[in-house]
Protein backbone atom coordinates (compact mmCIF):
# COMPACT_ATOMS: atom_id res chain seq x y z
CA UNK A 1 0.00 0.00 0.00
CA UNK A 2 3.06 2.29 0.04
CA UNK A 3 3.90 4.51 -2.87
CA UNK A 4 7.02 6.60 -3.36
CA UNK A 5 8.15 8.88 -6.16
CA UNK A 6 11.47 10.57 -6.87
CA UNK A 7 10.00 14.00 -6.18
CA UNK A 8 8.64 15.65 -3.08
CA UNK A 9 5.85 18.14 -2.60
CA UNK A 10 7.19 19.52 0.66
CA UNK A 11 8.72 22.64 -0.92
CA UNK A 12 5.99 23.35 -3.42
CA UNK A 13 3.65 26.28 -3.06
CA UNK A 14 0.12 24.99 -3.46
CA UNK A 15 -2.34 27.24 -5.15
CA UNK A 16 -5.50 25.20 -5.61
CA UNK A 17 -7.97 23.22 -3.55
CA UNK A 18 -9.52 23.91 -0.16
CA UNK A 19 -7.84 25.00 3.05
CA UNK A 20 -8.56 23.62 6.49
CA UNK A 21 -10.75 26.62 7.25
CA UNK A 22 -12.85 26.19 4.14
CA UNK A 23 -11.31 28.74 1.75
CA UNK A 24 -8.68 28.42 -0.98
CA UNK A 25 -5.51 26.40 -0.53
CA UNK A 26 -2.96 27.92 1.82
CA UNK A 27 0.02 29.52 0.13
CA UNK A 28 3.26 28.34 1.71
CA UNK A 29 6.53 30.18 1.18
CA UNK A 30 9.43 28.53 2.98
CA UNK A 31 12.55 29.95 4.59
CA UNK A 32 15.61 28.57 6.35
CA UNK A 33 16.12 29.83 9.90
CA UNK A 34 17.79 27.34 12.22
CA UNK A 35 16.57 27.46 15.84
CA UNK A 36 13.73 29.92 15.15
CA UNK A 37 12.66 32.04 18.13
CA UNK A 38 9.37 33.87 17.62
CA UNK A 39 8.25 37.37 18.55
CA UNK A 40 5.10 39.11 17.31
CA UNK A 41 5.26 42.86 16.65
CA UNK A 42 1.94 44.46 15.74
CA UNK A 43 0.55 42.15 13.05
CA UNK A 44 3.80 40.48 12.00
CA UNK A 45 5.56 37.41 13.37
CA UNK A 46 9.36 37.39 13.31
CA UNK A 47 11.74 34.50 13.89
CA UNK A 48 15.40 34.94 14.77
CA UNK A 49 17.81 32.03 14.56
CA UNK A 50 21.40 30.84 14.42
CA UNK A 51 23.93 32.48 12.09
CA UNK A 52 22.07 35.80 12.40
CA UNK A 53 19.27 34.47 10.20
CA UNK A 54 15.75 35.89 10.44
CA UNK A 55 12.41 35.87 8.64
CA UNK A 56 8.92 37.30 8.96
CA UNK A 57 5.31 36.48 8.15
CA UNK A 58 1.83 37.81 8.77
CA UNK A 59 0.02 34.47 8.55
CA UNK A 60 2.55 31.84 9.77
CA UNK A 61 2.43 30.24 6.31
CA UNK A 62 4.02 32.55 3.77
CA UNK A 63 7.48 33.59 5.02
CA UNK A 64 9.94 36.23 3.84
CA UNK A 65 13.67 35.90 4.55
CA UNK A 66 15.23 38.98 6.18
CA UNK A 67 18.80 37.87 6.82
CA UNK A 68 20.84 34.70 6.47
CA UNK A 69 24.49 34.63 7.57
CA UNK A 70 26.97 36.27 9.93
CA UNK A 71 28.78 38.81 7.81
CA UNK A 72 29.25 42.54 7.70
CA UNK A 73 26.26 44.04 5.95
CA UNK A 74 23.75 41.80 7.70
CA UNK A 75 20.83 44.15 8.35
CA UNK A 76 20.46 43.02 11.97
CA UNK A 77 24.03 43.92 13.03
CA UNK A 78 25.65 45.63 10.03
CA UNK A 79 29.21 45.68 11.43
CA UNK A 80 28.87 42.39 13.29
CA UNK A 81 32.52 41.28 13.15
CA UNK A 82 33.69 44.41 14.96
CA UNK A 83 30.56 44.92 17.06
CA UNK A 84 30.75 41.43 18.58
CA UNK A 85 34.51 40.90 18.34
CA UNK A 86 34.85 40.24 22.08
CA UNK A 87 32.26 37.49 21.84
CA UNK A 88 33.86 35.87 18.77
CA UNK A 89 37.31 36.03 20.34
CA UNK A 90 36.17 34.40 23.57
CA UNK A 91 34.22 31.64 21.84
CA UNK A 92 36.89 31.13 19.15
CA UNK A 93 34.07 31.27 16.62
CA UNK A 94 33.07 33.35 13.61
CA UNK A 95 29.34 32.68 13.83
CA UNK A 96 26.42 33.06 16.22
CA UNK A 97 24.07 30.48 17.67
CA UNK A 98 20.41 30.53 18.65
CA UNK A 99 19.34 34.02 19.85
CA UNK A 100 16.16 35.43 21.32
CA UNK A 101 14.54 38.86 20.94
CA UNK A 102 12.14 40.49 23.39
CA UNK A 103 10.61 43.96 23.69
CA UNK A 104 10.93 45.63 27.10
CA UNK A 105 8.98 48.47 28.71
CA UNK A 106 11.11 51.14 27.04
CA UNK A 107 9.79 49.95 23.67
CA UNK A 108 13.21 48.82 22.50
CA UNK A 109 14.06 45.35 21.27
CA UNK A 110 16.70 43.35 23.12
CA UNK A 111 18.53 40.58 21.29
CA UNK A 112 20.17 37.95 23.45
CA UNK A 113 22.94 36.62 21.20
CA UNK A 114 25.49 33.89 21.82
CA UNK A 115 28.53 32.24 20.26
CA UNK A 116 30.11 28.88 21.04
CA UNK A 117 33.26 27.08 19.98
CA UNK A 118 31.09 24.03 19.35
CA UNK A 119 33.31 21.12 20.37
CA UNK A 120 33.44 22.55 23.90
CA UNK A 121 31.21 24.86 25.98
CA UNK A 122 33.55 27.81 25.42
CA UNK A 123 30.71 30.30 24.95
CA UNK A 124 29.69 33.90 25.49
CA UNK A 125 26.22 35.43 25.69
CA UNK A 126 25.42 39.11 25.39
CA UNK A 127 22.70 41.65 24.68
CA UNK A 128 22.27 43.99 21.72
CA UNK A 129 19.50 46.59 21.48
CA UNK A 130 17.57 48.29 18.69
CA UNK A 131 14.75 50.77 18.33
CA UNK A 132 13.32 48.62 15.54
CA UNK A 133 12.65 44.90 15.40
CA UNK A 134 14.59 44.49 12.14
CA UNK A 135 17.59 46.39 13.49
CA UNK A 136 20.21 47.64 13.41
CA UNK A 137 21.15 46.26 16.84
CA UNK A 138 23.89 47.85 18.97
CA UNK A 139 25.89 45.75 21.40
CA UNK A 140 25.44 46.36 25.13
CA UNK A 141 28.02 43.78 26.16
CA UNK A 142 28.51 40.21 27.34
CA UNK A 143 26.44 39.00 30.30
CA UNK A 144 27.67 35.40 30.72
CA UNK A 145 30.68 33.28 29.79
CA UNK A 146 31.32 29.56 30.05
CA UNK A 147 33.93 26.95 29.21
CA UNK A 148 36.77 28.68 31.01
CA UNK A 149 39.64 27.02 32.84
CA UNK A 150 39.36 28.14 36.42
CA UNK A 151 36.64 30.16 38.09
CA UNK A 152 33.35 30.58 36.25
CA UNK A 153 30.77 33.36 36.34
CA UNK A 154 29.31 31.91 39.54
CA UNK A 155 32.57 32.23 41.47
CA UNK A 156 33.15 28.47 41.49
CA UNK A 157 35.50 26.30 39.46
CA UNK A 158 33.94 25.71 36.06
CA UNK A 159 33.01 22.05 35.56
CA UNK A 160 31.37 21.39 32.17
CA UNK A 161 29.51 18.34 33.51
CA UNK A 162 27.66 20.49 36.06
CA UNK A 163 27.85 24.10 34.86
CA UNK A 164 25.89 25.43 31.85
CA UNK A 165 26.96 26.13 28.32
CA UNK A 166 25.74 29.74 28.04
CA UNK A 167 23.85 29.45 24.74
CA UNK A 168 20.24 29.02 23.56
CA UNK A 169 18.54 31.79 25.56
CA UNK A 170 14.79 32.30 25.82
CA UNK A 171 13.71 35.46 27.65
CA UNK A 172 10.13 35.71 28.88
CA UNK A 173 7.82 37.48 31.29
CA UNK A 174 5.95 35.34 33.78
CA UNK A 175 2.30 35.93 34.65
CA UNK A 176 3.33 38.31 37.45
CA UNK A 177 5.53 40.47 35.23
CA UNK A 178 8.89 39.10 36.34
CA UNK A 179 11.49 38.71 33.60
CA UNK A 180 13.40 35.45 33.24
CA UNK A 181 15.91 33.81 30.94
CA UNK A 182 16.07 30.03 30.49
CA UNK A 183 19.13 28.78 28.63
CA UNK A 184 21.62 25.97 28.14
CA UNK A 185 22.75 23.18 25.81
CA UNK A 186 24.33 19.82 26.65
CA UNK A 187 27.14 20.28 29.27
CA UNK A 188 25.77 20.90 32.77
CA UNK A 189 22.15 21.28 31.71
CA UNK A 190 19.35 23.82 31.42
CA UNK A 191 19.40 26.82 33.79
CA UNK A 192 17.16 29.79 34.58
CA UNK A 193 18.08 33.33 35.66
CA UNK A 194 15.91 36.24 36.79
CA UNK A 195 16.49 39.44 34.82
CA UNK A 196 15.94 43.13 35.53
CA UNK A 197 12.80 44.06 33.53
CA UNK A 198 14.09 47.63 33.12
CA UNK A 199 17.49 46.77 31.65
CA UNK A 200 17.24 43.14 30.56
CA UNK A 201 20.45 42.31 32.43
CA UNK A 202 20.64 39.54 35.07
CA UNK A 203 19.81 40.55 38.62
CA UNK A 204 22.95 40.44 40.79
CA UNK A 205 24.32 37.56 42.84
CA UNK A 206 22.74 34.71 40.86
CA UNK A 207 25.81 33.30 39.15
CA UNK A 208 24.57 30.96 36.44
CA UNK A 209 21.14 30.76 38.10
CA UNK A 210 19.09 27.70 39.03
CA UNK A 211 19.44 24.34 37.30
CA UNK A 212 16.19 22.89 35.93
CA UNK A 213 17.54 19.65 34.43
CA UNK A 214 20.50 18.01 32.74
CA UNK A 215 24.15 17.24 33.52
CA UNK A 216 27.04 15.14 32.22
CA UNK A 217 26.63 16.44 28.67
CA UNK A 218 23.15 14.99 28.16
CA UNK A 219 22.00 15.86 24.65
CA UNK A 220 19.29 18.27 25.80
CA UNK A 221 19.12 21.87 24.56
CA UNK A 222 17.01 24.64 23.06
CA UNK A 223 14.80 25.46 26.08
CA UNK A 224 11.72 27.59 25.42
CA UNK A 225 9.09 28.63 27.96
CA UNK A 226 5.38 29.17 27.27
CA UNK A 227 2.80 30.09 29.88
CA UNK A 228 -0.79 28.96 29.31
CA UNK A 229 -3.52 31.00 31.05
CA UNK A 230 -5.84 28.14 30.10
CA UNK A 231 -4.06 25.64 32.35
CA UNK A 232 -1.98 27.99 34.56
CA UNK A 233 1.14 25.96 33.77
CA UNK A 234 4.54 27.00 32.48
CA UNK A 235 5.55 24.64 29.67
CA UNK A 236 9.27 24.09 29.16
CA UNK A 237 9.93 22.89 25.62
CA UNK A 238 13.22 21.10 24.98
CA UNK A 239 15.08 19.37 22.16
CA UNK A 240 16.62 15.98 22.89
CA UNK A 241 19.24 14.37 20.65
CA UNK A 242 21.49 15.79 17.94
CA UNK A 243 20.40 18.43 15.45
CA UNK A 244 21.73 16.93 12.22
CA UNK A 245 19.83 14.52 9.99
CA UNK A 246 21.31 11.52 11.80
CA UNK A 247 21.03 13.02 15.28
CA UNK A 248 17.52 11.98 16.24
CA UNK A 249 16.51 15.50 17.31
CA UNK A 250 13.03 15.52 18.83
CA UNK A 251 10.76 17.98 20.63
CA UNK A 252 9.73 17.38 24.25
CA UNK A 253 7.94 19.30 26.97
CA UNK A 254 7.65 19.40 30.76
CA UNK A 255 5.57 21.67 32.96
CA UNK A 256 5.47 23.49 36.31
CA UNK A 257 3.24 25.90 38.19
CA UNK A 258 6.32 28.12 38.66
CA UNK A 259 8.60 29.60 35.98
CA UNK A 260 11.68 28.35 37.83
CA UNK A 261 10.30 24.88 38.51
CA UNK A 262 10.44 22.21 39.64
CA UNK A 263 9.37 20.73 36.30
CA UNK A 264 7.75 17.35 35.80
CA UNK A 265 6.66 15.26 32.84
CA UNK A 266 3.32 13.52 32.35
CA UNK A 267 4.45 10.55 34.45
CA UNK A 268 5.28 12.84 37.35
CA UNK A 269 9.00 12.29 36.87
CA UNK A 270 11.18 15.11 38.20
CA UNK A 271 13.03 16.63 35.25
CA UNK A 272 15.97 17.51 37.50
CA UNK A 273 16.73 13.77 37.32
CA UNK A 274 17.06 13.88 33.52
CA UNK A 275 20.84 13.83 33.18
CA UNK A 276 23.59 12.01 31.35
CA UNK A 277 25.72 9.05 32.33
CA UNK A 278 28.94 10.21 34.04
CA UNK A 279 30.73 7.15 32.66
CA UNK A 280 29.55 7.29 29.05
CA UNK A 281 29.26 10.33 26.78
CA UNK A 282 25.92 10.95 25.05
CA UNK A 283 24.22 7.91 26.59
CA UNK A 284 20.78 8.77 25.18
CA UNK A 285 18.82 5.86 26.71
CA UNK A 286 19.58 7.21 30.21
CA UNK A 287 17.52 10.40 29.72
CA UNK A 288 15.19 9.42 26.87
CA UNK A 289 12.50 8.24 29.36
CA UNK A 290 12.06 11.86 30.56
CA UNK A 291 9.77 14.51 29.12
CA UNK A 292 6.67 14.32 26.95
CA UNK A 293 7.85 13.57 23.41
CA UNK A 294 5.71 15.61 21.04
CA UNK A 295 7.42 14.90 17.73
CA UNK A 296 10.35 12.99 16.24
CA UNK A 297 11.32 11.54 12.86
CA UNK A 298 8.35 10.33 10.80
CA UNK A 299 7.03 9.89 7.28
CA UNK A 300 3.41 9.64 6.18
CA UNK A 301 3.34 6.90 3.53
CA UNK A 302 0.67 7.64 0.96
CA UNK A 303 -1.81 4.97 -0.04
CA UNK A 304 -2.42 3.68 -3.56
CA UNK A 305 -5.47 5.96 -3.84
CA UNK A 306 -3.46 9.14 -3.18
CA UNK A 307 -0.90 11.06 -5.27
CA UNK A 308 2.52 9.42 -5.50
CA UNK A 309 4.82 11.48 -3.26
CA UNK A 310 7.78 10.82 -0.98
CA UNK A 311 9.24 12.73 1.91
CA UNK A 312 5.97 13.85 3.54
CA UNK A 313 7.43 13.98 7.00
CA UNK A 314 10.23 15.36 9.13
CA UNK A 315 13.75 14.43 10.14
CA UNK A 316 15.26 15.87 13.32
CA UNK A 317 12.56 18.48 14.04
CA UNK A 318 13.56 20.65 16.95
CA UNK A 319 14.81 23.77 18.68
CA UNK A 320 11.32 25.16 18.74
CA UNK A 321 9.70 28.29 20.04
CA UNK A 322 5.98 28.59 20.75
CA UNK A 323 3.32 31.27 20.69
CA UNK A 324 -0.05 31.69 22.38
CA UNK A 325 -2.54 34.08 20.78
CA UNK A 326 -4.61 35.53 23.60
CA UNK A 327 -7.32 36.79 21.25
CA UNK A 328 -7.95 33.53 19.39
CA UNK A 329 -6.82 31.12 22.12
CA UNK A 330 -4.66 29.31 19.56
CA UNK A 331 -1.24 27.82 20.27
CA UNK A 332 1.52 27.51 17.68
CA UNK A 333 4.71 25.48 17.64
CA UNK A 334 7.48 27.03 15.51
CA UNK A 335 10.57 24.95 14.76
CA UNK A 336 13.13 24.02 12.15
CA UNK A 337 13.23 20.59 10.59
CA UNK A 338 15.05 18.49 8.05
CA UNK A 339 13.22 16.12 5.72
CA UNK A 340 13.39 12.55 4.45
CA UNK A 341 15.77 12.16 1.48
CA UNK A 342 16.92 15.81 1.61
CA UNK A 343 20.07 15.61 3.72
CA UNK A 344 20.88 18.58 5.95
CA UNK A 345 18.57 21.04 4.16
CA UNK A 346 16.22 22.60 6.72
CA UNK A 347 13.22 24.94 6.79
CA UNK A 348 10.89 26.59 9.30
CA UNK A 349 7.61 24.87 10.04
CA UNK A 350 4.59 25.92 12.12
CA UNK A 351 2.02 23.53 13.59
CA UNK A 352 -1.00 24.25 15.74
CA UNK A 353 -1.09 22.89 19.27
CA UNK A 354 -4.03 22.15 21.55
CA UNK A 355 -4.31 21.36 25.24
CA UNK A 356 -5.69 17.90 25.91
CA UNK A 357 -7.91 16.96 28.83
CA UNK A 358 -4.87 16.41 31.04
CA UNK A 359 -3.41 19.83 30.34
CA UNK A 360 -0.64 18.72 27.97
CA UNK A 361 -0.04 20.17 24.51
CA UNK A 362 -0.72 17.96 21.50
CA UNK A 363 0.63 18.94 18.10
CA UNK A 364 -1.36 18.86 14.84
CA UNK A 365 0.08 16.29 12.40
CA UNK A 366 0.30 18.68 9.43
CA UNK A 367 1.75 22.17 9.15
CA UNK A 368 -0.53 25.09 9.95
CA UNK A 369 -2.66 26.01 6.95
CA UNK A 370 -5.00 28.56 8.49
CA UNK A 371 -7.33 25.93 9.95
CA UNK A 372 -9.45 26.37 13.05
CA UNK A 373 -10.59 23.43 15.10
CA UNK A 374 -14.29 22.69 14.61
CA UNK A 375 -17.24 20.66 15.78
CA UNK A 376 -17.17 17.19 14.26
CA UNK A 377 -19.52 14.23 14.03
CA UNK A 378 -18.56 10.58 14.22
CA UNK A 379 -19.22 10.29 10.48
CA UNK A 380 -16.44 12.86 9.92
CA UNK A 381 -14.00 10.66 11.83
CA UNK A 382 -14.50 7.14 10.51
CA UNK A 383 -12.28 5.73 7.80
CA UNK A 384 -8.67 4.83 6.98
CA UNK A 385 -5.78 6.68 8.56
CA UNK A 386 -2.02 6.78 8.24
CA UNK A 387 -0.92 6.18 11.82
CA UNK A 388 2.32 7.31 13.49
CA UNK A 389 3.52 6.48 17.00
CA UNK A 390 6.41 8.81 17.92
CA UNK A 391 7.62 6.57 20.74
CA UNK A 392 9.97 7.80 23.45
CA UNK A 393 13.43 6.99 22.13
CA UNK A 394 16.12 9.20 20.62
CA UNK A 395 16.87 7.68 17.24
CA UNK A 396 17.79 8.61 13.65
CA UNK A 397 15.31 6.01 12.39
CA UNK A 398 12.26 7.38 10.58
CA UNK A 399 8.92 6.06 11.79
CA UNK A 400 6.87 5.13 8.72
CA UNK A 401 3.13 5.43 9.05
CA UNK A 402 0.98 2.31 9.15
CA UNK A 403 -2.55 1.85 7.92
CA UNK A 404 -5.37 1.65 10.43
CA UNK A 405 -9.12 2.13 10.29
CA UNK A 406 -11.43 3.89 12.74
CA UNK A 407 -14.68 2.03 12.31
CA UNK A 408 -18.22 3.27 12.86
CA UNK A 409 -18.65 1.02 15.91
CA UNK A 410 -15.73 2.67 17.74
CA UNK A 411 -13.04 0.12 16.92
CA UNK A 412 -9.48 0.63 15.69
CA UNK A 413 -8.35 -2.09 13.30
CA UNK A 414 -5.36 -2.68 11.06
CA UNK A 415 -1.70 -2.30 12.04
CA UNK A 416 -2.75 -1.59 15.63
CA UNK A 417 -5.99 -2.38 17.43
CA UNK A 418 -8.09 -0.69 20.05
CA UNK A 419 -11.01 1.70 20.44
CA UNK A 420 -11.76 5.33 19.74
CA UNK A 421 -14.37 7.87 20.81
CA UNK A 422 -15.37 11.44 20.07
CA UNK A 423 -16.74 13.58 22.89
CA UNK A 424 -17.77 17.22 22.96
CA UNK A 425 -16.91 19.15 19.84
CA UNK A 426 -13.60 17.50 18.98
CA UNK A 427 -12.10 15.68 21.98
CA UNK A 428 -10.39 12.44 20.98
CA UNK A 429 -9.90 9.44 23.21
CA UNK A 430 -8.09 6.40 21.88
CA UNK A 431 -7.03 3.13 23.41
CA UNK A 432 -4.27 1.55 21.35
CA UNK A 433 -2.83 -1.82 22.33
CA UNK A 434 -4.07 -1.23 25.88
CA UNK A 435 -2.66 2.30 26.24
CA UNK A 436 -4.96 5.31 26.58
CA UNK A 437 -4.35 8.51 24.60
CA UNK A 438 -6.05 11.90 25.01
CA UNK A 439 -6.15 14.62 22.38
CA UNK A 440 -8.22 16.17 19.62
CA UNK A 441 -9.60 15.56 16.16
CA UNK A 442 -8.78 18.32 13.67
CA UNK A 443 -9.51 18.81 10.00
CA UNK A 444 -6.55 20.40 8.24
CA UNK A 445 -4.72 20.78 4.97
CA UNK A 446 -2.40 17.97 3.86
CA UNK A 447 0.21 19.41 1.54
CA UNK A 448 1.25 16.05 0.12
CA UNK A 449 -2.20 15.15 -1.19
CA UNK A 450 -3.33 18.69 -1.96
CA UNK A 451 -6.51 18.42 0.07
CA UNK A 452 -8.32 18.57 3.38
CA UNK A 453 -8.15 15.57 5.70
CA UNK A 454 -9.33 14.68 9.17
CA UNK A 455 -6.51 14.10 11.63
CA UNK A 456 -6.02 13.15 15.25
CA UNK A 457 -3.26 13.95 17.72
CA UNK A 458 -3.12 12.49 21.19
CA UNK A 459 -0.79 11.76 24.12
CA UNK A 460 -0.51 8.88 26.57
CA UNK A 461 0.31 9.21 30.26
CA UNK A 462 3.75 7.84 29.37
CA UNK A 463 4.36 10.94 27.27
CA UNK A 464 4.08 9.26 23.87
CA UNK A 465 2.38 11.03 20.96
CA UNK A 466 0.30 9.32 18.29
CA UNK A 467 -0.90 10.94 15.09
CA UNK A 468 -3.38 9.96 12.43
CA UNK A 469 -3.94 11.47 8.99
CA UNK A 470 -7.03 10.45 7.01
CA UNK A 471 -6.51 8.76 3.69
CA UNK A 472 -7.86 11.26 1.19
CA UNK A 473 -10.98 10.18 -0.67
CA UNK A 474 -13.48 12.30 -2.56
CA UNK A 475 -16.20 11.49 -0.07
CA UNK A 476 -14.06 12.58 2.88
CA UNK A 477 -12.39 15.68 1.41
DSSP state of 285: H
Give the DSSP H or E segment for 139. Answer: strand 138-146
Catalytic residue among 35, 100, 114, 264: 35
CA 39 centroid distance within chain? 14
Q: CA-based Rg of the chain, rounded to a whole angstrom?
A: 22
Buried b (16+ CB within 10 A) or exposed e, 438-475: bbbbbbbbbbbbbbbbbbbbbbbbbbbbbbbbbbbeee
Residues 33 and 5: their CA atoms lie apart, in Å, by 28
Note if 221 is an active site residue.
yes
Residues 70 and 17: their CA atoms lie apart, in Å, by 40
Residue 351: closest CA among 337, 365, 339: 365
Report helix, strand or coil for 380.
Answer: helix
**Which phi and psi angles does 208 have, rounded to 5°?**
-85, -5
Note if 35 is an active site residue.
yes
Strands (DSSP E) found in 356-398: 361-363, 383-389
Residues 219 and 365: their CA atoms lie apart, in Å, by 25
Catalytic residue among 100, 114, 170, 221: 221
C-alpha atoms less than 13 angstroms from C-alpha of 186 in its C-beta half-sphere: 21
DSSP state of 165: P
Residues 425 and 151: their CA atoms lie apart, in Å, by 58
Kindly report the number of other CB atoms within 10 A of residue 174's CB atom: 15
With beta carbons less than 8 A apart as the criterion, state whether 359 and 255 touch: yes
**Which phi and psi angles does 80 have, rounded to 5°?**
-60, -35
Residues 448 and 467: their CA atoms lie apart, in Å, by 16
Give the DSSP H or E segment for 81. Answer: helix 80-83
Residues 425 and 117: their CA atoms lie apart, in Å, by 51
The residues that are catalytic are 35, 221
Amino acid sequence: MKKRAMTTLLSLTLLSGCSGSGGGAPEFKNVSVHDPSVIKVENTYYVFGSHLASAKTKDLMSWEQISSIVEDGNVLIPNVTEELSETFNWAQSNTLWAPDVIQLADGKFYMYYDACKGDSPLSAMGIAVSDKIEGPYKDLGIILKSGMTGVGDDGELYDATEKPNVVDPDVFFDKDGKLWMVYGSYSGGIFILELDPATGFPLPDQGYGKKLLGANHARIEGPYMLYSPETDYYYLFLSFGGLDANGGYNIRVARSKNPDGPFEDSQGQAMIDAKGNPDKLFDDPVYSPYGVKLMGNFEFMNSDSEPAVSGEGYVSPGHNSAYYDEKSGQYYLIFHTRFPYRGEEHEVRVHQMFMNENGWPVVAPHRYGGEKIGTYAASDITGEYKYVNHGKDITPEIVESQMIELTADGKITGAVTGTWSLSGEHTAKLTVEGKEYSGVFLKEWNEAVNGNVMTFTALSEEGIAVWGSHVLTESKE
